[in-house]
Amino acid sequence: MNKRYLMAPGPVAVAPEVLAKMSEPIIHHRSPQFSAILTKVREDLKYLYQTKNDCLILASSGTGGMEASVVNLLSPGDKALVIRGGKFGERWDELCHTYGVKAVNIDVTWGKAVDPQEVKKVLDANPDARAVFVQAHETSTGVKHPVEELGKLIREKPATVLVVDAISALGVYELKTDDWGLDVVITGSQKSLSLPPGLAFVSVSEKAWKLVEKAQLPKYYFNFLKEKKAIEKQTTAFTPAVSLIIGLAEVLRGIRATGLPALFAHHRRLSEGTKAGVTGMGLEFFSTVPSEAITVIKAPEGIDGQNVVKILRDEYGITIAGGQAQAKGKIFRISHMGYLNEWDMIVALAAVERALNQLGYPIELGKGVAAAEAYFAQNK
Amino acid sequence: MNKRYLMAPGPVAVAPEVLAKMSEPIIHHRSPQFSAILTKVREDLKYLYQTKNDCLILASSGTGGMEASVVNLLSPGDKALVIRGGKFGERWDELCHTYGVKAVNIDVTWGKAVDPQEVKKVLDANPDARAVFVQAHETSTGVKHPVEELGKLIREKPATVLVVDAISALGVYELKTDDWGLDVVITGSQKSLSLPPGLAFVSVSEKAWKLVEKAQLPKYYFNFLKEKKAIEKQTTAFTPAVSLIIGLAEVLRGIRATGLPALFAHHRRLSEGTKAGVTGMGLEFFSTVPSEAITVIKAPEGIDGQNVVKILRDEYGITIAGGQAQAKGKIFRISHMGYLNEWDMIVALAAVERALNQLGYPIELGKGVAAAEAYFAQNK
């Protein structure tokens, strides 16, 4: 019985009932039937985003949503601030570089969050910055950046917008798009929405639409104004990924029924229980501002984190994630996103204990699991 | 019983066994299991493309593949020839315009194919053209452009590549990527591959790779060099649309088992049978170079083609396509791509007969169907 567990931060496990929904016969994308689904999905996305603004739907991975935000907001030679504290922060810088946008990088040590006062200082020194690019949650390090505070700062700057990569944050924990002044918020289908990869979503504030109207960077497939016009006609600018949107409708229906508070509480519980287990094992966290999306564990002295990941995957059929770039080998990451519950977290912790033992690192079997069990029993 | 038929040229009907395959649990995209699938898919794509070169896989609609080809081949100010004889020919011109590429348009009346001699003339007058952009099959008109002849012409020009949008052509009828000198060939998942939308594919010849290495247009998500490097590592540059690629593996396995000749014969048979039925009804074709992908029927005098489409969709549950832009109302289109067989074509023809009668256009019921039945009986 080759039963497998997917507990990496994207792609994530998808619920069987959603997979079944996506396997219904394909419908045409220019039909009243599909328009009705799109309209409902767009309303439900506003609920998820906590915004009154339109959320655009793109057929691409999350990176497509990031690139779309750069090319639809900026013009050649524009200046932008980039919070760079992980692999995805670096991606903002690379995107700016690609399109001739002058990136002023605020470098943050991997594992730490940006200091809003530092951003304020750099922002004051660069009043001509058109945008600040940040991750709500940096998936490569497990760090939550203080986007609520950044929103307050940037709201005061009439010529600057805040662009938030929330690919592994939206739907995981509280993120108030409108109330916090998050002008552009990007997410993807393969994280908290528990869908396969292939869809990106972007919300755009009124302040950001003003930039969009003036933006001169070249774009065709990722075109916010075209998508906006398409929304008025209850369609999409280009052929949408029909089956994924059918799955999305099912997932969003569930989220509305459950409510955001329950959704956030679910992730918080999985995260806290897992973190209790990690502490119980005597291991340490990589992130100084841990998130509810993933638990990022430092590989103990003398252990290559990649070997932990490999044993879980190849011997136990359990997929977690290792570290990327400069964090490779130093960490391993357990996701709380996707179709997962507390028993999955118990499985992940038990597997980590066993793998570390196998690698010669002495951990009393069951110790981390016991701590997690105690947490879950006490926090229902 | 709300049984529905999808006979539009994309999205198309997907086989239940492929839908079932895509509804299996999601696997991680950076895993040996997925790498093995990718490697197999890439080999099978070469068979489909009849090429020895790599075929890139992008998570986007077909338009993303077209844009990717423009930005990865050209530099600002480059000149390109565009064959513009339909909505998708116009898209090439729009893409060039977007990126500051000087498009020399060869305008072709909708419904007709480009004359290779005309292309030769314009090509000789513009020896600095870096690329010729064309549709193998223009989905908006049902016309096949003579790409084999264009390949012969352009092969003689060392500094020019032939870029073929084969989104509704590859896998439908014979298209020899390497033998015909088609430098860049684009297709999508939602046409002859009978998959949901969300994947684009691009093959790149050695001649085209030389252009890619020099191309200066900005790109990030659609980056051929990054995808090429990713192929060497048996992965993709960005998160792939996992479930669609699982479906693709299943479809390509079937295509290799059937063989391209049988696949082409299948489309030809559906096309010829349908066309026999249309002629039997006394109706006319819009395309002077009809394709095996779709049958494009002129709306008879006094009949709005959109009304035919509406009656089929709203009253009979059958989705065919109307005309786009300047052809709107003048035509309607029946697809031969997707999970369709001869009985589906009989259904489409019967439905058209009935709808035309309902709209007051006198057609003897069963006349077109009889002609199609005779064709199918004689051509097994």
Secondary element (H or E) of residue A202: strand A199-204
Bridging pattern class, strands B199-204 and B184-188: antiparallel
Identify all chain B residues contacting A99, using CB atoms and an 8 Å cutoff: 218, 220
Structure tokens at B183: 């430098």
Identify all chain B residues contacting A236, using CB atoms and an 8 Å cutoff: none
Angle at A335 (CA atoms; ends A329, A340), nearest 5 degrees: 145
Q: Quick one: pLDDT at residue B1?
A: 73
Q: What does the pLDDT look like over B226-285, one tens digit per residue?
A: 999 999 999 999 999 999 999 999 999 999 999 999 999 999 999 999 999 999 999 999
CB contact under 8 A, B24 and A23: no
Q: d(Cα A255, Cα A44) in Å, to the nearest integer?
A: 9
CB contact under 8 A, A241 and B61: yes
Examine the pLDDT at A1 and tell me if it is beyond 80: no
CB contact under 8 A, A221 and B59: no
ipTM of the complex: 0.91
Please answer whether residues B198 and B220 qualify as being in contact, where contact means their C-beta atoms are separated by less than 8 angstroms: no
Cis check: omega of the bond before A11, within 30 degrees of 0: yes
Domains and CATH numbers, chain A: 5-10+260-378 (3.90.1150.10), 16-258 (3.40.640.10)
Bridging pattern class, strands B318-319 and B5-6: parallel
Q: d(Cα B308, Cα B325) in Å, to the nearest integer?
A: 17
For A100: left if phi > 0, alpha if psi spans -120 to 50, otherwise beta; the answer is left
Unique residue bearing structure tokens 């200082």: A121
Q: Quick one: pLDDT at residue A48?
A: 98
Q: d(Cα B112, Cα B307) in Å, to the nearest integer?
A: 25
Write the residue in A32, A243, A314 that is nearest to B196 by C-beta.
A243
Examine the pLDDT at A60 and tell me if it is beyond 90: yes
Top pLDDT among A362 and A41 is at: A41
Could you give the 3-state DSSP secondary structure of residue A138?
Answer: strand
Examine the pLDDT at A380 and tell me if it is beyond 90: no
Continuous H helices in chain A: 16-22, 32-49, 62-73, 87-98, 116-125, 147-155, 206-214, 224-232, 242-258, 260-280, 305-311, 342-358, 367-378
Angle at A115 (CA atoms; ends A110, A121), nearest 5 degrees: 125
B240: nearest CA partner in chain A: A197
Q: What does the pLDDT look like over A295-341, one tens digit per residue?
A: 999 999 999 999 999 999 999 999 999 999 999 999 999 999 999 99
| DSSP codes joined into one string, B282-331 | T--BS-SSB-SSEEEEEPPTT--HHHHHHHIIIII-EE-EE--GGGTTTE
Interface probe with A: pick from B1, B216, B221, B311, most Cβ of A within 10 Å:
B221
Please answer whether residues A51 and A42 qualify as being in contact, where contact means their C-beta atoms are separated by less than 8 angstroms: no
Average pLDDT over residues B28-52: 97
| DSSP codes joined into one string, A27-48 | --SSSHHHHHHHHHHHHHHHHH
Q: What does the pLDDT look like over B174-188, one tens digit per residue?
A: 999 999 999 999 999
Continuous H helices in chain B: 16-22, 32-49, 62-73, 87-98, 116-125, 147-155, 206-214, 224-232, 242-258, 260-280, 305-311, 342-358, 367-378
